A and B are shown apart, each in its own frame.
Chain A
C-alpha cells in the first residue's frame, strides 16, 4: 500500500494513531538532542539528529521489574501497560535494531517480558528528508508497520503490516514511479560505512587481526559499559534480587560484557578475565558470531557506541582501525 500525505493528512494520521496507542513522536529537546516524547497533538520535529536513546529501550528497559515475591508466599507480577506503544521517528538503523531484538527475544522459549511490551506496538519509520537540516536518510523498506518518507512538503507512506494498512486506508494513493525514484535516491547514499564494516568482519572471520591490536584497544577502554548500554542489539541482562520488609523484588537490568564480573565464576576463574579478551569479544560477537547465527551482523551502524564511548573505541572506530591496519591482508 502506497499513499501520499499532506501535512494535514499526517496530523489526521497521528490523531488516529493516538486514539489506540500511546504515541511517541520525535522532538528536538532543550539540551540539543532528539528524543521520542508523548504526542501532544501539536508539536513534533520531523528533521534532526538521530535519536539519542536507543528505541529498543522501550521494550527492553535498563531496569525491568519482573516479579515481587511477597512474605505471605504470593507473587505479584507488574500489570501490563494498557495502551500499546506507537513509536514514530525511527530511521532504518533503529528499525533494524528493533527487528534484531524481536528475533532474538522470540527464539523459543520466547521472552514474555519483552514480547508483552512489544506485541501490539506500532512502529512508524521516518526516512527521506528527515535527517539533520533535511538531509536524506536511506529508506527502510521493512521492519515497521508504516514507513513515512519525507519529501517536503508531502510524505509518501508505505504500509508493511495489517495495522499499518488499516491506518493508511483513507489516504490517497501515491505515484509508484515517485516511490521508485525515492529508492534510487536512497541507493545513491554512500555505502562506505557498510563496506568498512563488512571488510572488518571479513578480517575478523579470517582471523587476520592480531592480539597486539586488541591490546592497544583494550588499553583505551575505561570500562564504562556505554558501548553496550547504547547498543540496540545488545540483549544481555542480569538479574537483581532485592529483599525488603515486604518481600523480594526481582528485576532484570542491562548488563555489559565489558565488565570483569560479566563472566567471572564464583570461585574467581574468569574466561573473559582481561580487558583484551573482553574488547575483542565485543567486536567478534557482533561481526563474527552474529552473522553465523542470524545471517547478518549484530551491528546496524546506528553510531551510538561511537558517540557514547569516551575514548573513541566504538564499533565503527575500531572497524576503521582494523581495516586501515590489516586491510591489505584481504
Chain B
C-alpha cells in the first residue's frame, strides 16, 4: 500500500490528506493528514470520500471529435492539431478577441498559468476567465479598491484568537466544514458569534444573534450597523485617523440608514440592528467571514465595500483574530486568480493595461501581447450568444450547470463555431463540444494549489490517469508549442520556476521549499521569505485603507404577483457544484440523490404541498421539477434549491442579471412560482 500526501480537491479550506493506493494502482481510501495545520487529522465527508470518483467507469479516457454530430474517439495528435487549427483559424478570420478561454479553479496553479499564457501569448487575446467570476469576483473588485488586495486578510489560525466572528452570507459548516468547525470551537471557548443569513443555518443555532434579513439587503444592514456604531462612539478613531482615507464621505453616506429605515428594508427589528452594531463594535478582535451570500448579487461589490468599511471603521484589520475573510470556494480558486486566469491581469494581479508589465511578460514569452483587457466569463456567454465569440476552450468547468439562465447558456455554446472541452467526465458542457480532451484528475497529476488563506500547497500524483488521459499541463504545453510559444516543461516544478520569476507575490515559492514541509502563504516574494500570515499589518497593500461609501440598491428581480416566491440557490454539504465528482461518489450521492427545494411549512400548507411531493418551479427563464422539503430553515416566502442537479437544474431559473463592476450574476435572488406537478 502506498500513501501519497496531497491537497483536497473540493473546497478552498486547503485540507491535506493521504491518498491510499494498492499495488495495482487503485485508490483504496483516504487518511487525513494528522499534523497538517488545516486538517489536523480531520476532514469533512467530501474529503473522506475524495478518492471515490477517481476510478469511476464514466471517466473520459480517449480524445473525442465530433463527426456527423456524434463524438467519436480519435488520437491525441488529431485532437490537438484540430484544436489548435480551429482556434487559429477563428483568430485569423475574426480576430483573436473572437476566442474565449475558460480556465479552472479545479486545476493547479501551474495549469492556470499555462492557460492564461496560451490565451495571451498563444492566441493573442486577454479573453480568459474562470468560475471565480461566479463566486468571488465581487470580493476581488471590492477589496482591491479598499485595501489593495482581494484575498482573505487573515489566517485560519486566527479563529483561535478572535473575540467575535461575524458570519454573513456563508453557510460555513456545510460549505467550508473545517472552517465552520473552527468557528464552532471559537464559540465553545467563549467567543461571540453573529450570523446574518436569511436561512437558519447550523451556525445560527449557536449564535448570540441571528439576523434573518431579506436576501439582497446586506448593504442596508451593514450601513445601518455602521451608523449606529458612529452614533454610539464605538468607532476606532485612532485607526481611522492613521490608517484610512475618505472617512468623511462614508460618514455622510450613512446618515439615511436609521434603524427604522434599515428595518423597513431588511425585515429586521430595529433593536436587532443596534444590538448587532454594539456586539460587533464592542469586541476587541472581530473576524468578518463571508461567502456567496454577499458576493452573488447585482450589488455584490457594494456588499464587499460595506463590509470593508465596517472592518476599517472599527480597526479590525492587520491584527491576529481580525480581518475581512472571504472564504474562497474551490480548492484552487485563489490560485486561479493569483495566476491571472482573469481578463485584466497577469499572474500576481499585474495589470495587462500596464505597459511595463506587458513588456516583462512579452520578453519572457517572446511574443507581443494584447493590451486591451478581455471579456469576463459571464459577458463571454452573452458575446457567444450574439455571435461575437466564435471559438472557446473550456478546461474543467461546466457552465451548462453553473452559469445562470441555462437556456441562454445552451444557446450561446451551441452558437459557437468551435468548442473544445478539457475535462475528466462527460459533463453537460462536454456533451456540447466539438472536441473533448480527457484530463488527469487531481489524484493523477502533480501541481500546487493555493487555499483560501493564501497557502500554497502541493498536490501529488498517486495513481496513473485512466486510458489515454493526460495532465492538463501536458495538454496546454502541447498547444502552446503548436502556437510557437516556448513551453518545454518536463514537470510542473519547472512551470513554478517561471511563475516565481514573473510573479512578485510568488517569488519565493519553489517545489524544493514545499517538499521540505514549509507552508507558504503569499506574499512570499523571496526564497528566504517566510510567507505572510496576516495582510495589511502596518499599512494596507494600497497604502491607506479607503472607505468606499455605498448606497442601497434592491436586487434586480424581486417576487411579484406572478412569481411570488424569492428563489435562493446554493449547495448542500455533500455535493460539489455541478456534481460531476460527488454525484459519482457513492456515499455522497446516496445522501442527497435528488433535486429538491426547501420550502417553509406555512407556504407548503397554503399551497397544499406535502413532504417529498414533486413541485414545478418556474421563473421568467424556465421551469424545473424538484421534490419538496418542508423546513423552517428557509423563511416564509423564500425557497432554496441547490444547483447540483442536471435533472432539476436551479440555474434554469436563475437570473443572468450581472453586477455592473464585477460581472457576477445574481444567483441569490430571483422571483419564481411554485406549483404542484
Q: Which residues of A contact B (CB under 8 A)?
A: 30-33, 35, 52-53, 57, 61-65, 219-220, 222-226, 229, 238, 240, 242-245, 249, 253-256, 259-261, 268, 307-312
Contacts and interface: CB of A to CB of B under 8 A. Distances in A.
B48 to A, nearest CB: 6
The 7 A-B residue pairs whose C-beta atoms are closest, nearest first, are A62-B29, A244-B57, A310-B181, A32-B35, A33-B34, A240-B586, A261-B590
B180 A63 contact: no
B23 to A, nearest CB: 9
Contacts, number: 113
B78 interface: no
Interface stretch (B38-46, B156-164, B301-309): B38-46
B490 to A, nearest CB: 25
Contact of A222 (B26, B181, B611, B612): B181
A222 B177 contact: yes
Contacts of A224: 42-45, 47-48, 177
B185 interface: yes
Interface in B47-98: 47-48, 51-52, 56-57
B538 interface: no
B173 A222 contact: yes
Contact of B42 (A30, A53, A310): A310
Given A226-B42, A255-B587, A310-B177, A242 B34 contact: no
30 contacts: A30-B517, A31-B5, A31-B35, A33-B34, A33-B41, A52-B31, A52-B41, A61-B20, A61-B28, A62-B30, A63-B27, A63-B29, A63-B51, A63-B52, A220-B184, A222-B177, A222-B573, A223-B573, A224-B42, A224-B45, A224-B177, A225-B48, A242-B57, A249-B57, A259-B590, A260-B591, A308-B41, A309-B42, A310-B42, A311-B185
A244 B45 CA distance: 26
Interface residues on B, range: 35 or more
A212 to B, nearest CB: 13
Contacts of B45: 223-225, 256, 259
B595 to A, nearest CB: 15
B3 A35 contact: yes
Contact of A243 (B32, B34, B57, B185): B57
B408 interface: no
Nearest to A215: B205
A69 to B, nearest CB: 13
A308 B32 contact: yes
A244 B27 CA distance: 17
Contacts of A225: 45, 48, 587
Interface in B449-486: none
Contact of B35 (A33, A242, A311): A33
A307 B206 CA distance: 22
A31 B30 contact: no
A9 to B, nearest CB: 29
B202 interface: yes
Given A219-B206, A223-B573, A311-B185, A62 B587 contact: no
Counting chain A CB atoms within 10 Å of each CB, the highest count among B31, B178, B517 belongs to B31
A221 B358 CA distance: 51
Given A32-B34, A308-B42, A310-B42, A62 B20 contact: yes
A260 B611 CA distance: 16
A261 B594 CA distance: 12
Contacts of B16: 31
A265 B41 CA distance: 33
Contacts of B35: 31-33
Contact of A31 (B36, B51, B586, B612): B36
Given A31-B35, A225-B45, A259-B587, A312 B185 contact: yes
Interface string B520-551: 00000000000000000000000000000000
Interface string B580-613: 0000001100110100000000000000000110
Contacts of B5: 30-31
Contacts of A307: 34, 41-42
Contacts of B52: 63, 253
Contacts of B33: 31, 33
Contacts of B611: 268
Interface string B178-191: 10110011001000
Given A259-B590, A310-B42, A311-B185, 12 more contacts: A32-B35, A53-B31, A61-B20, A62-B30, A63-B51, A219-B205, A238-B586, A238-B587, A243-B57, A255-B587, A256-B45, A310-B177
B608 to A, nearest CB: 19
B34 A31 contact: yes
Contacts of B43: 224, 226
Contacts of A256: 45, 587
Contacts of A245: 57
A222 B31 contact: no
A53 B20 CA distance: 11
Nearest to A58: B1
B48 A229 contact: yes
A71 to B, nearest CB: 13
B108 to A, nearest CB: 21
A57 B57 contact: no
Contacts of B29: 57, 61-63, 254
Nearest to A229: B48
A311 B587 contact: no
B177 A312 contact: no
Contacts of B42: 224, 226, 307-310
Instruction: Point out which of A35, A64, A225 has the most chain B C-beta atoms below 10 A from its C-beta.
Output: A225
Contacts of B205: 219
B327 to A, nearest CB: 15
A35 B573 CA distance: 30
A312 B41 CA distance: 13
Interface in B140-177: 173-174, 177
